[in-house]
Structure formats: structure tokens, C-alpha cells
Structure 1
Amino acid sequence: MGILVALLVLSVLIFFHELGHFTAARFFGVQVDVFSIGFGKKLYSKMIGKTQWSISAIPLGGYVKMKGQDDTDPTNISYDDDSYNTKKPWQRIIILLAGPFANFLMAFLLYLAISYMGVPKLLAYVGEVGKDTPAYQAGLQKEDKIVQINGNNILYWENIGKQINDSKNDITLIVEREQTLITLQLKPKVIDDQNIFGEKITRRIIGIGPLDKQTTVYYGFIDGFGYAWEETKRASLLIFKSVQKLITGVVSTDKLGGIITIVDVTAQASSAGILSLFFFTALISVNLGVLNLLPIPALDGGHIMFNLYEMLRGKAPSDNAMYYITLVGWAMLISLMLLGLYNDVNRLMG
């Protein structure tokens, strides 16, 4: 059941991505010949207007085939008025950007729904207090509730680490213990650590862990938009940084996951509940949006680069150059997919 949910989630995300391209293309008067979810043999198709809407056998992507635009043969162009090729470069760029934009919008809407469904957050109660730590030496105790750090109100556990790291000197804690407020002075300890990308960093700690005590935060109509915007922005920056670290070699290529990992983790998220599924689906949606903006020929980002070149030079790259550059792009894309699949198989085999 989890695998079916995962494939459905991927299909929905692909549909929204391609719907973005389709909507922008039709807005500018471009004829769309095919709108397909999946690749390979068509399982179902129906002509609506001049567009063939299809569901294909391999649910690993999708495509919108516009008149005069063919990734498999970039020399196959058309100069009819309703062709992609006859549109101005800035119009083509908007058509190309519409797909990734739809993914970011999808993530935003999912985070918005999460904000109204209720976001689980750990409360700022102290659970574990490590021995010989600044917290232990200052007298912090289990079940103390941290109310303020350096005059800043603390509502949730997630706020504590940032306040400690942002402080340059000693910190002042106000904690609630048995309905009494107590003020404590601490000198954080600086330790060597690693961030999520495995890079060496230093951070300040006081030596405490959270108590398993949480609440559900329901956002109002307006506040929900703020939450959705911040979460979409945070997820986008995380994916951008991840790609950057992968390209620069900070993150090893064996960390790259493929379709098997995506399906597996999505299935796990679905079994954990609708909230977990929404969170992970939003992250995948942002991932699709960011990856499609990479300047690789055969991806939206690569086509955007071609059109920017045409805007700057006043002419498009030659048909011959477009053909070979697109071949290189497909080779890069297929290589990345095979690498992800190879890593998936390795992980499955332990």
C-alpha cells in the first residue's frame, strides 16, 4: 500500500510540474501536442482539443510536448504561429520556469495545509542534563521549563539552540520550576561538531536534551501563509545547498538517492500519517523544482540558458550545437539517474 501511495505522490507532483508548463504554453498561444504522466508505452490516452493526455507505463517522470520543441531531436522545429520556436525568448523562459514554479507552489500549498492541520512542536522542557556540563554546574534540572534566554522569550525547544549559538558571551536563563521563576547564569561550552553535510563546525552547547513533551500549534489564516512561506524558503535553500555541496565534492556522490529511495521514504512517510506524508511530499516537490532549474541541457534550466544566450547574442545557438549539447545533457542526466539507482541498490543490499 505504501508503494502505491508513493507512486501516486510522484504522479501528482509530476502532473503539477507539467501543468505549469502546459498553462504557460497555452497562455502564450503555443500548441501542446502531448501531456504525459510517465514514459514508455501508453496505458491510457485521450484527445482533448488538440492535446493527447496520456498515462504511460514507467512512472518516473512526465513531459509536455509542445509544437516545435523536442528534447529527443532539437533540430525538429516548426515556424508556425502556434509553435514554441516562434515565441520570444522571454516568453519561452516563462514557459520553462512555470514547471519549477508549480513545484514550489505545490510545496507552499502543502505547508499551508500543514499549518492549519497543526504542527507538532517540542516544548522547551529540559529532559536530560549531562554531568560536568554548563547546565549541570549552573543547577539546571530535569523538567525545568526554559522561559527566556538573554531576554528573548522561548516557546519551543527548536528556539533554544539558535539563541545559545547566537550569544557571544555568558548567557542568562530564566527557567520555570514548580511554578517559580529562577534566573541562572551559564558559560556555554564550545565543541567541534559536524553539520548535516558532514562539514566541521564549532557550536556552543550547555549540555541538555529535550523532555518528550510536545504541543500542536495551529496557525491562523494569515499566519499560515507566513509559516508556509518560511518553510518553502527553508526547504528550497536546503536543496540548493545540498546540490552545491554535491557539485563541490563536500558531499560524497554515494549520498545521492534515486527513485527507489524516493519511493521507499515516501512509503515510510505515508505509514507514519498524513502529516508526515505532507511534509515529505512538500520536500520532494521543492527538490523537483530546484533540480529542474539546474543548467543541464534536457532540463528546464538548460533550456533557460539557451534562451538567455539568444537574448544576449540576438540569435539562437546553431542547430548543430544544440543537437550535440542536448546529447551531452541527456548523457549527464542518465548518468545521474544510474548513479542514484546504483546507490539505491547498494543501500538495499546493506
Structure 2
Amino acid sequence: MGLIGSILVLSFLIFFHELGHFLAAKLFGVRVEAFSIGFGKTRIFKKQIGETEYSLRPIPLGGFVQLKGQSDIDPKLRNEDKDSLYGIAHWKRLVILAAGSFFNLLLAFLLFMAIGLMGKNELVPIVGKVQENMPAALAGLKSGDRILEIDGEKIVTWNALSSVIAESKGTLEIVFLRNNQEFITRITPKLGESKNLFGESIERPLVGISASGDVEIVSYSFLDSMLYAFRETKESSKLILQSIEKIFVGVVPLSEVGGVVSIVSITKKATELGIVTLFAFSALISVNLGILNLLPIPALDGGHIIFTLYEMVSKRIPTQETLYRLSMAGWIVLLGLMGLGFYNDILRIINGTMPF
């Protein structure tokens, strides 16, 4: 059931992405010729409704919306009819092209919001060890103190505490609980060396405390869950962009790039760990799909957005030959990345490190 569940989850994420393109195209009068979940020439199911053929195809890890006048394989098929993607105003085309990624980010937001309402296990902001001669110790914090507020901002998780300290610019007013009594102290973090998620040494504000390790189920009100969802979606997007940057500069080795096998495997594991874990991982994959589709690669939505912006600025349309060559180059890059991910997945399977 886990494998079937993982495929269904990924199919839904792709469906939601394509739904964004579909609805935006319909809004601006662009003809949608096909809406497919899955790839392949064979159609397991198909139904013609109006001008659109809806189909289900055998390769589930993908999908597409075919708009009139658009062809990623052969851009020479472009036309400028009034109901074509290239027959409408440039700004409308940009909305249609970006709508898929927007829907992925919207879905991630909704999933994170659901997590906030349901509640999830979180490290709570209870102080464990306090380093001597560091700002926290000098301010009187002790092991067992629970941080309640920092500069008027309510703190309910250790992650939130860590983020506020990392972004601090000066002295912080901290409200903490000790023996069921509230106390206030002021702490001025000092710069020190730490490690980021990619193992790099960085300089950041530190106060000299570590978490006690206590875990509680933390949930939020409706409004707070919206704020939580926005923050998580934003941070997930930043993390993906940083990961892409670190791959290009060599901090993250190419051997860490995963393919569809890794995604299915991890999603399968997430489905077995409960609804909250599944929602969290699905939200991350949805953000991933949204951000990666905006990369300026001609075969992706981001590439088409770049072409459209070029037309808007230069008032010229790239030659058909230029579009063709750039599209083919984009497909080579895209297929190369997919091949690298698949190759790494095979190595993980052979080495027994794939989490099936």
C-alpha cells in the first residue's frame, strides 16, 4: 500500500501543478487541447469534453497540459491565433506559465496549514545545557528554563527560538519560565562559528544554549497556522534555492542528487509514518516542483517565461531556429539531470542505502 500511496501522492502533486496551467489558460481564453496525468503514448483512460481530451497514461510520474500553439518538443509549431498561448497579451502568457508553480506553492501552503492545525511533534524551547561565560549564562539562564517570548514574539518551538537568535541584530528581551514563575532578562548574542545545513562553517549570533531534547505536540490556531504555513513555505523555498546553488558551486556533491526512485522510496516511507509526516514531505516535494519548474531552462516553465520577458523587453520574437536550438539544449540539460538522478538511485540500490 505504501508504494501505491507514494505514486498517488506524486500524481496528485503533478495534477495540481497542471491544474494551475489549465485554469489560467481557461481564464484567458487559451484552448486546452489535452490534460493528461502520466506520460506515454498509450491512454489507459481518455474522455473528450468540449475542446479538451482528458487522459490517464501508464507512466504515473509526470503529466502535462497541451495548450494550443505550444510545443516543448518543436517550438516551430507556434502560432498566434487568438485562442493560442502566443496569441494573447504577454502578461497573460506569463500568468499561465507561472500558474503551475504558483499552484504547487499554494498546495504546500495548504498542507503546512493543515499540519499546523493538526499539530506535530516539535522540540520545545526548553534550555538543556548552558555554556559558561556565554551570553545566556551571563544573563542568568539555567537548564530547565522554558523560553516564552523574545522581543514580544511568542516562542513555541526550539526552531523558532534558534531562528530569532540567528537573525538578531542586538540585545534581546527574553521572557522565560522557571518553577512556574515568569522572569525577564536581556541577552546580547555574540558572533561565533557554527555549521549550516550543508556542513559549511558560518559566523552567526550565538547565546550559548542547547535544547533539552523535550518534544511536545505543537498545534496552532487558524490564524497562527496560516502564519506558520507561510513561514514554512518560504523557508522551504529558500532551502531548495540554496541547495541548487550549493550543487553548482560544489558544496553539495552531484552524488547527492536523487531521481524518481528516491522520491518514490521516501514518499512510500512517509506514507507509512502517518498523515502529518506524509503532509510535510508532500509539501516539500510540492515546493520542489514549483521552484524547479521556474528554473531558466528552455524545456521548463521558467525557460518559456524568459523567452516571453525577452519578447516584452526587445519587442522582437526569437527566430524559430534559435527557439529550436535553445529548446533542444534545455532538453539535453533536463534529461542529463534526470539521468544523473536515476544513476545515483541505482548506485544507492546496489549499495543498499536506498530507504525502501
TM, length-normalised to structure 1? 0.87
Question: Match for residue 333 of structure 1?
Answer: 334
What residue identity is the alignment partner of 1:258?
G
- 1:37 Cα offset (Å): 1.0
- 1:180 Cα offset (Å): 4.9
- 1:170 Cα offset (Å): 8.8
What residue identity is the alignment partner of 2:343?
Y
What residue identity is the alignment partner of 1:332?
V
SS in 2 for 1:42: coil
Report sequence identity in percent. Answer: 45
- How many residues are treated as equivalent by the alignment? 348
- 1:139 Cα offset (Å): 8.0
What residue identity is the alignment partner of 1:33?
E
Structure 2: segments with no counterpart, 5+ residues: none
What residue identity is the alignment partner of 2:201?
K
What residue identity is the alignment partner of 1:4?
I
Question: Match for residue 97 of structure 1?
Answer: 98
**CA displacement, residues 138-183 of structure 1 (integer Å, 9 cap, x when unaligned):** 9866544345668876443224334544567898876544335678
Structure 1: segments with no counterpart, 5+ residues: none
Question: Match for residue 29 of structure 1?
Answer: 29
59-68 vs 284-293, which moves further: 59-68
63-72 vs 87-96, which moves further: 87-96
State whether structure 2 residue 212 is matched by structure 1 residue 210: yes
Change (3 A) 1:146 1:76: closer
- 1:243 Cα offset (Å): 1.8
43-52 vs 166-175, which moves further: 166-175
What residue identity is the alignment partner of 1:236?
S
Question: Match for residue 18 of structure 2?
Answer: 18
State whether structure 2 residue 322 is matched by structure 1 residue 321: yes
State how far apart, in whole Å, the 2-side matches of 1:172 and 1:305 are. 46
Instruction: Give the ranges of 4+ consecutive aligned residues of structure 1 lying more than 4 Å apart after TM superposition.
Output: 130-142, 147-154, 163-175, 180-191
Q: Is the 8 A contact 1:121 1:217 kept in 2?
A: no
Q: Is the 8 A contact 2:156 2:218 kept in 1?
A: no
Q: Is the 8 A contact 1:191 1:205 kept in 2?
A: no
132-141 vs 67-76, which moves further: 132-141
**CA displacement, residues 29-61 of structure 1 (integer Å, 9 cap, x when unaligned):** 221111111111222111111211111111221
Question: After the TM superposition, which residues 80-91 of structure 1 pair with which residues of structure 2 at under 5 Å, given as runs?
Answer: 80-91=81-92
Change (3 A) 1:170 1:65: closer
State how far apart, in whole Å, the 2-side matches of 1:212 and 1:176 are. 15
Question: Match for residue 8 of structure 1?
Answer: 8
199-208 vs 315-324, which moves further: 199-208
- 1:188 Cα offset (Å): 7.0
Question: Match for residue 260 of structure 1?
Answer: 261
SS in 2 for 1:75: helix
Change (3 A) 1:193 1:43: same
State how far apart, in whole Å, the 1-side matches of 2:143 and 2:91 are. 60
- 1:258 Cα offset (Å): 1.1
State how far apart, in whole Å, the 1-side matches of 2:113 and 2:153 are. 27
Change (3 A) 1:328 1:140: same
- 1:260 Cα offset (Å): 1.2
Change (3 A) 1:320 1:119: same
Change (3 A) 1:210 1:75: same
Q: Is the 8 A contact 2:125 2:211 kept in 1?
A: no
Change (3 A) 1:312 1:171: closer
SS in 2 for 1:63: strand
State how far apart, in whole Å, the 1-side matches of 2:175 and 2:59 are. 58
237-246 vs 142-151, which moves further: 142-151
Q: Is the 8 A contact 1:119 1:218 kept in 2?
A: no
- 1:8 Cα offset (Å): 0.7
SS in 2 for 1:329: helix
**CA displacement, residues 50-103 of structure 1 (integer Å, 9 cap, x when unaligned):** 211111111221111112211111112334332223223222221111111111
- 1:200 Cα offset (Å): 1.5
Change (3 A) 1:310 1:118: same
132-141 vs 283-292, which moves further: 132-141
State how far apart, in whole Å, the 2-side matches of 1:279 and 1:72 are. 34
Change (3 A) 1:182 1:320: closer
- 1:18 Cα offset (Å): 0.8
Change (3 A) 1:320 1:195: same
What residue identity is the alignment partner of 2:93?
R
State how far apart, in whole Å, the 2-side matches of 1:145 and 1:201 are. 27
Change (3 A) 1:111 1:151: closer
49-58 vs 205-214, which moves further: 205-214
TM, length-normalised to structure 2? 0.86
Q: Is the 8 A contact 2:74 2:324 kept in 1?
A: yes
**CA displacement, residues 265-315 of structure 1 (integer Å, 9 cap, x when unaligned):** 111111111111111111111111110000101100101111111112222
State how far apart, in whole Å, the 1-side matches of 2:211 and 2:347 are. 34
Q: Is the 8 A contact 1:110 1:282 kept in 2?
A: yes
